[in-house]
Amino acid sequence: MTSQWRARTGRIAVLTGAGISTDSGIPDFRGPRGVWTKDPIAELLSTYQSYVSDADLRARAWLARRDNPAWHAVPNPAHNSLADLERAGRAVTIITQNIDRLHQRAGSSPDRVIEIHGNMFEVVCIECDYQTTMAATLERVAAGEPDPPCRDCGGILKAATVMFGQQMDHRTLTKATITAETSEIFLAIGTSLQVEPAASMCSIAVGSGADLVIVNADPTPYDAMATEVVREPIGTAVPRLVAEILAA
């Protein structure tokens, strides 16, 4: 029976995508009202080669970062319930594709959240080791620098996120892979499971004996290997599943 997975007592891995944050007012990318669906050019802002080669695109990207709804977003019941699962004593590690840090703000331990696509609150230089905060860089934009260069080397600055066409951090990916391999329950929440290598964490987990549970509005390429697929809204589904896990 599909319900038996709830009683497993081992490690729980959670892969979260943009869908978990839509109830917090942050639009997803590929949905009907997604950022890229409504504005295809916006996808270029997340494409490394386009960003590096086009100063006008970078200027637009800084304004998009300034206007990102994540600055004012608060965790929703799905984020909060995953933090509650950890607080209840379960070994939970969250692998998130999101850059909004809502898991940490909900109370999930920072060292139990693996940000495989980085975060939007820090800025790095593509040429040297310079790092600073997004807030400080946006102050430069507001002061009249549409595309602020690195203060150390004059190189191009970008958010500390992994763009399309950019290599993921090897240590972060290794940590995520080990998390998938050692889990007994693998929850995939609010992700289309179309972006690799994040999506392949599902097959890694199943191959190591985990039960895969997918919570997503639309079908995914990994539904066939899932123990259970949940289509109900994430904001109600995740708190319900967490309550069932804790009651099992």
Residues assigned a catalytic role: 117
Instruction: Name the pairing type of β-strands 228-230 and 211-215.
Output: parallel
3-state secondary structure 25-82: CCCCCCCCCCHHHHCHHHHHHHEHHHHHHCHHHHHHHHHHHHCCHHHCCCCCHHHHHH
CB 20 within 8 A of CB 234: yes
Rounded Cα–Cα distance for residues 223 and 25 (Å) = 27
Hey, how many other C-beta atoms are within 10 angstroms of the C-beta on 143?
A: 8
Distance of CA 73 to the CA centre of its chain: 15
**Helix, strand, coil % in the chain, rounded to nearest 5:** 45, 20, 40
13 phi, psi to nearest 5 deg: -105, 140
Q: Which secondary-structure segment (H or E) carries 212?
A: strand 211-215
Q: Which amino acid is at 9?
A: T
239 phi, psi to nearest 5 deg: -60, -40
User: Which of 219, 225, 199 lies closest to 15, judged by CA?
Assistant: 199
Tokens encoding 219: 């079908």
Rounded Cα–Cα distance for residues 39 and 33 (Å) = 10
